[in-house]
A and B are shown apart, each in its own frame.
Chain A
Amino acid sequence: MLELSHVTKVFYPGTVNEKLAIEDLDLKVNDGDVICIIGSNGSGKTTLFNLISGTIPVTSGTITLNGRDITRMPEYKRAFTIGRIFQDPTKGTAASMSIEDNLITASTKGRKGLRISLTNEKREEFRELLKPIGLQDRLKDNVGLLSGGQRQALTLLMTVMSKPQMVLLDEHTAALDPRNAQTVMDLTTQYIQHYHLTAMMVTHNMQFAIDYGNRLIMMDEGQIVLDFAGVAKQQLSVEGLVKLFKNIKNKEFSNDEGLLTTD
């Protein structure tokens, strides 16, 4: 469904700070793929997400979505098909507005007019949706009053409500404590299955990346260095991954190893 071909991104071109963040990257994401992306800091994972969602333009190459060239499409238009959740829980919701106002913005995605969509019927519907995350009685409270975990769960709910075909999850549980992270992750799995979403997820946890989803991608220096799917992925182990990575880099990377956790 999503295809990147020969995508390159250069930051600050023509200055002393010029940096090649993504180099000649090809990637084909199939319908229903759940892809885990690993790689050390600075390997280009977030840049890749920024390019896919349209936050920053590509330097060269093309991005196609469902056969349509979206390379020059602005971010807010891509948002109809591509939902994104950030590591920072404050990025997905409007803190100074009530939960119901946030939800109504998501449920009327794009189609904005002079209609008042927030009716009592809608409120009832929201209450049902909020039950799994325990916020059903707090519709009128400002989102700023919620904890990080609650906000991230709400962001997830809002993203799903707006019915994207694909979600980009940028370490969306990294800022949460283990229990809340688990809750949000369970919700994520539930939504992905229920709505048949295609997902790409950045994680620093190699074991998790091996266990979760049907595909694993490792990035390094702006390129995809490993891409496993199906049976090949199931046979992976953390040690095997580290070994493969060492072979590719053909050097010891004791420094980089510290950036990836194994448990």
Chain B
Amino acid sequence: MIEGIFVDGLIFAIMVLGILISFRIMDMADLTCDGSVATGAAAAAVCITHGTSIFVALVVAFFCGVLCGMTTAAIHNKLHIPGLLASILTMTMLYSINLRILGNKANLPLLRVKTLYTELPSFFSFLPEEYASLLGTLLVVLLIKGLFDLFFRCDIGIAIGAMGSNEQMVISQGMNPENLKLLGLGISNGLIALSGGLLAQYQGFADANLGQGMVVQGLAGIMLGEFLFSSNKIHLLTLRAIFGAIMYKALMFFGRKYGYLIHITPNDFKLLTGVLVIISLFVASTRSKASDNEARKKALARTAEHQQNNLNVEAK
């Protein structure tokens, strides 16, 4: 069962990496995610049931996500409305589009077709079935993390980060922030849709309601990761986001498994995720208060020491 958590967590981690781009690196509240994850799942599922290869299905899912993100960015750029509102528009429109992609059905089962998770056991035949799935997913995540880190160390990646920190500076340095937003949100939602495409194959169906509440879950993952360590280096930021994603899925797993003992049902999970985010924010703020207090105590101690020294000098 434990491998299940990790596979689930790793697939979720790809989405968390996408959310990391919009919420943390670009400092934009992008809710497109709730729609694009389902778009990715639907696109991949339709491709697979129509007999394309798994790789092509995932590439299609990725680019569908890129389109979703770019739509949000374009609305935000051209109509000068906040990213939050632009993304809510896209998200809402995507719900209908996802139903269309699924052929006007709410879900599409992936039974009796080859998916990544039916193929992996034969690919890694030296491993037990569950571990083959885990290894395959891990390799995909590591590949994405590697490319992600490289991208955000190259010139254009750094420019996207600079825009998140100070848009005026990016303009002053001769770059069009509109293009950077198109690119950033495109990649962000591409990863989210890719995660959706993998999830559909793992759970064996694509569902139009898959995306509900995904942003908040992703944020919970990011915040859990941020408790682990602090850094400004991109490869550590992505690493802790991946750990955070797995931690979140583990929490949810144990919630499902032992929650009945305290009368928690899966219906309560959205509430609990929200509470988890609130607790994370609360702990983060108390942490900074605690370090403020510590600094104050040290300062007071120093003042007392100075006074003591002065008294000593006077006494002499």
Name A residues whose Cβ lies closer than 8 Å to a Cβ of B.
74-77, 79-80, 83-84, 86, 90-98, 101-102, 104-106, 108-118, 142, 158-159, 162
Contacts of B153 in A (CB 8 A): 116, 118
Cβ–Cβ contact A90 & B166, under 8 A: yes
Cβ–Cβ contact B154 & A109, under 8 A: no
Cβ–Cβ contact B166 & A159, under 8 A: no
In the assembled complex, the Cα of A139 lies from the Cα of B39 at a distance in Å of 42
Chain B positions 124-172 with a Cβ under 8 Å from a chain A Cβ? 150-151, 153-156, 158-159, 161-162, 164-166, 168-172
Cβ–Cβ contact B175 & A110, under 8 A: yes
What are some 7 contacts across the A-B interface (CB < 8 A)? A93-B166, A94-B162, A110-B173, A110-B174, A110-B175, A114-B156, A162-B173
Cβ–Cβ contact B155 & A104, under 8 A: yes
Secondary structure at the A interface, as helix, strand, loop or mixed, is loop
Interface presence of B291 (CB below 8 A): no
Closest to B161 in A: A97
Closest to B160 in A: A112
In the assembled complex, the Cα of A83 lies from the Cα of B166 at a distance in Å of 16
Contacts of A86 in B (CB 8 A): 168
Contacts of B177 in A (CB 8 A): 76
With both chains docked as a complex, state the minimum distance between the C-beta of A65 and any C-beta of chain B, in angstroms: 14
Interface presence of B176 (CB below 8 A): yes
Cβ–Cβ contact A93 & B169, under 8 A: yes
Name B residues whose Cβ lies closer than 8 Å to a Cβ of A.
150-151, 153-156, 158-159, 161-162, 164-166, 168-177, 232
Cβ–Cβ contact A77 & B156, under 8 A: no
Cβ–Cβ contact B159 & A112, under 8 A: yes
Contacts of B165 in A (CB 8 A): 94-97
Contacts of A159 in B (CB 8 A): 172
Contacts of A94 in B (CB 8 A): 161-162, 165-166, 169
Cβ–Cβ contact B162 & A116, under 8 A: no
Cβ–Cβ contact A76 & B156, under 8 A: no
Q: A90-B166, A116-B153 are in contact. Are A97 and B173 (CB under 8 A)?
A: no
Cβ–Cβ contact B162 & A91, under 8 A: no
Closest to A84 in B: B172
Closest to B158 in A: A101
Cβ–Cβ contact B171 & A105, under 8 A: no
With both chains docked as a complex, state the minimum distance between the C-beta of A114 and any C-beta of chain B, in angstroms: 5
Closest to A114 in B: B154
For the complex with contacts A105-B162, A111-B155, 10 further pairs of A-B residues with Cβ separation under 8 Å are: A92-B172, A95-B165, A101-B161, A102-B162, A104-B158, A105-B173, A108-B155, A109-B174, A118-B158, A162-B173
Cβ–Cβ contact A105 & B154, under 8 A: no
Contacts of B161 in A (CB 8 A): 94, 96-97, 101
Cβ–Cβ contact A112 & B169, under 8 A: no
With both chains docked as a complex, state the minimum distance between the C-beta of A127 and any C-beta of chain B, in angstroms: 19
Cβ–Cβ contact A113 & B154, under 8 A: yes
Contacts of A111 in B (CB 8 A): 155
Find B174's partner among A90, A116, A117, A162 (CB 8 Å cutoff): A162
With both chains docked as a complex, state the minimum distance between the C-beta of B229 and any C-beta of chain A, in angstroms: 16
Cβ–Cβ contact A116 & B154, under 8 A: yes
With both chains docked as a complex, state the minimum distance between the C-beta of B92 and any C-beta of chain A, in angstroms: 31
Contacts of B159 in A (CB 8 A): 105, 112
In the assembled complex, the Cα of A254 lies from the Cα of B166 at a distance in Å of 40
Contacts of B170 in A (CB 8 A): 76, 105
Q: A96-B232, A97-B232 are in contact. Are A76 and B155 (CB under 8 A)?
A: no
Contacts of A115 in B (CB 8 A): 154-155
Cβ–Cβ contact B154 & A83, under 8 A: no
In the assembled complex, the Cα of A110 lies from the Cα of B168 at a distance in Å of 14
